[in-house]
Structure 1
């Protein structure tokens, strides 16, 4: 049985190191794990209950909800912007938290990882993301963490997939999330 893991990247920049980290996750996924990188977070309007009306939800938000609904687990890749979560990722979480009581993220296993320029690798943003996802109804896997510091220098000339230490750590993250996703898929 294939386990679908939806990857959401909190940076919109084409050369984002977090995007590269997500691309690496696709490459290192164990057999049976299908990591799918969601495209289109930039197209999703800011969450507003006035436009979140059944039957007329904006198409980009509906695609996000559908992708999450069909996933067995979610993997968030987030940089740290001014000490916290990027707005685009928070907006995605807001859309995924609705409709209340029947949201696409409810009880889905979720892991949060990422890289940032600072010496702590974005841990504040990772913690904020875990908090928001947990409140939204996701099953946050607190024991699965990966915060890679010094992204600007570490990945200046090396893609994360080619960094053996990062590739090994990311392989472990995806494998563990795959295990939780397998349980979700079987339920």
Structure 2
């Protein structure tokens, strides 16, 4: 769409809701989201990432829906997802799958109307095992099929904390240049994919 002057109208920024599947304040996955937020501000024009907390969501229970109304915490969470153009998940791996807190958030936001539907999404993960959270990522992609989430396929960001050592500093911050560049490319892919899904202004 063009403005009346004939100049192209400015494109609204891509708003990204970032969700961490770990409740640990110092978790490696939470630090990846913080790094993504910093990267988006420094190197990616037109992308705004907001960390959306899920710790206060009650356990999924349809008995908590009263005459179609949801608990305030749930409704506020759903509205943040609804207003976002895309979603960035930081998904630890628990017992070969996604964490309970992440699954709980996925389930609440899928209640009719499903506010995940049609959104671009990306996943980052890190963990102590050699796979770096790979199994959790693949399970999350399976869940996303039903939720109608559209995941970026490449690059895959699955980082092992210990193998090889040195990717993270003693405070849990990612310092490995190649891994940081992979994360930056993932964010660019998410931004571009979200723009394509948004369509012409």
TM-score, scaled to structure 2: 0.84
Q: Is the 8 A contact 1:112 1:144 kept in 2?
A: no
RMSD: 1.8
| TM alignment of 1:2-81, pairs within 5 A | 2-29=13-40, 30-39=44-53, 41-53=54-66, 56-81=69-94
CA shift, 1:106, in A, is: 0.4
Q: What SS does the corresponding residue of 1:15 show, helix, strand or coil?
A: coil
| Alpha-carbon distance between aligned partners in 2 of 1:89 and 1:60, rounded to the nearest angstrom | 15
> In structure 2, the residue corresponding to 1:36 is in which secondary structure?
strand
Gap runs ≥5 in structure 2: 1-11
Q: Structure 2 matches for 1:1-187, cutoff 5 A?
A: 1-29=12-40, 30-39=44-53, 41-53=54-66, 56-99=69-112, 102-150=113-161, 154-157=167-170, 159-160=173-174, 162-186=175-199
1:170–1:51 Cα change, 3 Å: same
TM-score of the two chains, using structure 1 as the length reference: 0.90
Aligned partners of 2:16 and 2:50 also within 8 Å: yes
CA distance in 2, matches of 1:155, 1:174: 20
Distance 2:48 2:17 in 1: 8
Bigger Rg, structure 1 or 2: 2
Judging changes above 3 Å, is the alpha-carbon distance between structure 1 residues 183 and 119 closer, same or farther for their aligned structure 2 residues? same
Offset at residue 90 of structure 1 (A):
0.5
Shift of the alpha carbon at 1:107?
A: 0.9
Gaps of 5+ in 1: none
The structure whose residues are more often helix, as a share, is 1
- CA shift, 1:96, in A, is 1.4
Whether the 8 Å CA contact 2:155–2:182 is kept in 1: the answer is no
Residues paired across the two proteins, number: 183
Distance 1:108 1:144 in 2: 18
